[in-house]
Every structure is written in structure tokens, then in C-alpha cells.
């Protein structure tokens, strides 16, 4: 098997401040308390598509960087073909994070590696963040002790945003970017393109770059120029 890959690189698009949700203040408090060693040392985030799991784990990289805290983030897809040997051997005080950890459910070596890792967390040597699509007890992990250990800490359910939430998040993200996104342009985006939050965030990023380079407001003509391919309405949800 391949050696352990390098952690994911820091992505400046994500921060705890631009994570938008009714639960945002609570979640920010719990995550920062983990890094500051004033809260839970083991936190799991679970939810469906567009619930913000990946955003939050990436946002923690910025918080760790600003606090000079050792933080290593991996996506489970990176780890599938890598050896689990040594994964729990990081220096004391390190914060480890694994996105989509349930992708490794059923992999005996990785389940054993996570078991050892959580034991080190319990002993106060490491801190661990992970995300998954459902509660640990409902995943395909075969090691019973691992399922129970993943539930030792704090589990936070992240709901997928409904249409109203997507609209609110788009408005707030545009405001944080310093963009003027009027009702007409917003409704055009939501009615003509994929309503998935991930897709809308990518569209907004493209529009931000175009508006900045062309010194233009975001209008329907600009949207048509930058995002020329509309999705089939049947696939827009």
C-alpha cells in the first residue's frame, strides 16, 4: 500500500466566520474550544450534501494557522489506498482531521488505526475532528469498539440547507465578498442554475472574479456571459 499522503493544503476561501447557519455560533464555539483545549477533544460532524462539513474542517485550518496550532487535514478518499500504519503517531498536541471518514468503513487496517488514534485522544495526547454522512452507529464500521469510541466526544448534526437557507447563504456570502447581488440577479441564479449550495458557491466565486476584473455589477447579462450553460431543470435539484 502507498505511504500516507500529505495533508490537504490550506484553502483561504473557508473560515469559521463565513460558515452560515442558525447553529453557526454554537459550532464555532465548540470547534474553537477544541483547538484552545477548553472543550471536547473529539468532535464529529455529520450530515448530508451541502451541510457544511468540508467547509468547517477547512475553516479550522485557518483558525489553527492563526493560532500556530499543528493541524493536519485529510480526506478519506486520499487515504483509501494508503497504509494506515503510523497514522496515530503524530506528535503530542497535534489536531488531526479526517473528512468523509465513513468512506473507510469496513477497511480493517484503517479502522484499527482510528481506534488507536481515538485512544490517544482519550489519553489527552491528541485532538481529533472528523466528518461523516450519518451517525457513527449507522455507518458500516465493523469494529464495534471504534463505533463506540467515535461517539465518546461531541457529535454535531448539520442539516442540509433548504431553498430559503440557500438564498440566505448566497446573500450573506455576497455581502462578505463585498458584492452587490440584487433580488433579480439572485432569483435568476436560483431559478436557472443548480440549486445545490456547492454549485451556487462556485457560481458566485466565478461572478466575483468576473465582476472584479470587468469592474461591473452582477447583473443578469453578466451571469449569462460568465455562466452560459444552464442546467436541465430536472437536474437542478
How many whole angstroms separate alpha carbon 31 and alpha carbon 26? Answer: 9
How far is the C-alpha of 112 from the C-alpha of 32, rounded, in Å? 28
Question: What's 197-226 look like in SS3?
Answer: HHHHHHHHHHHHHHHHHHCCCCCHHHHHHH
Look up cell 481506534; give the residue: 115
pLDDT in tens, the chain (237 residues): 567 777 887 677 788 988 888 899 999 999 999 999 999 999 999 998 888 999 999 999 999 999 999 999 999 999 998 999 888 899 999 999 999 999 999 999 999 999 999 999 999 999 999 999 998 888 899 998 998 899 899 999 998 888 888 888 888 888 877 888 888 988 898 888 887 888 888 888 889 888 888 888 898 998 988 886 654 444 444
- Cα–Cα distance, 145 to 60 (Å, whole number): 27
The grid coordinates of residue 111 equal 479502522
Contact 52, 99 (CB under 8 A): no
Select from 18, 125, 133 the least CA-distant residue to 76.
Answer: 133
Domains of the chain: 24-157 (3.40.50.300), 163-235 (1.10.8)
Helix axes of 53-66 and 24-36: crossing angle, nearest 10 degrees: 40
- Longest pairwise C-alpha distance within the chain: 58
Phi-psi region of 63 (alpha: psi -120 to 50; beta: other; left: phi over 0): alpha
Per-residue cell: 40: 471536547
Cα 202 from Cα 127, distance rounded (Å): 31
Amino acid at each position: 500500500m502507498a505511504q500516507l499522503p500529505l495533508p490537504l493544503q490550506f484553502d483561504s476561501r473557508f473560515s469559521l466566520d463565513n460558515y452560515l447557519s442558525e447553529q453557526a455560533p454554537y459550532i464555532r464555539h465548540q470547534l474553537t474550544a477544541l483547538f484552545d483545549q477548553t472543550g471536547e477533544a473529539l468532535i464529529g460532524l455529520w450530515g448530508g450534501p451541502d451541510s457544511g462539513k468540508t467547509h468547517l474542517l477547512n475553516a479550522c485550518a485557518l483558525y489553527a494557522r492563526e493560532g500556530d496550532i499543528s493541524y493536519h487535514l485529510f480526506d478519506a478518499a486520499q487515504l483509501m489506498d494508503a497504509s494506515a500504519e503510523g497514522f496515530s503517531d503524530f506528535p503530542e498536541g497535534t489536531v488531526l482531521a479526517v473528512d468523509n471518514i465513513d468512506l473507510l468503513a469496513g477497511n480493517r487496517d484503517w479502522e484499527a488505526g482510528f481506534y488507536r488514534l481515538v485512544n490517544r485522544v482519550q489519553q489527552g495526547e491528541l485532538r481529533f475532528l472528523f466528518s461523516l454522512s450519518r451517525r457513527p452507529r449507522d455507518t458500516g464500521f465493523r469494529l464495534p469498539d471504534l463505533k463506540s469510541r467515535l461517539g465518546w466526544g461531541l457529535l454535531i448534526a448539520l442539516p442540509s440547507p433548504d431553498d430559503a437557507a440557500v438564498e440566505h447563504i448566497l446573500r450573506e456570502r455576497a455581502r462578505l465578498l463585498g458584492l452587490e447581488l440584487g433580488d433579480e440577479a439572485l432569483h435568476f441564479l436560483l431559478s436557472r442554475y443548480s440549486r445545490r449550495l456547492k454549485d451556487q458557491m462556485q457560481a458566485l466565486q466565478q461572478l466575483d472574479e468576473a465582476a472584479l476584473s470587468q469592474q461591473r455589477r452582477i447583473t443578469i447579462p453578466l451571469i449569462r456571459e460568465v455562466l452560459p450553460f444552464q442546467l436541465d431543470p430536472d437536474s437542478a435539484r
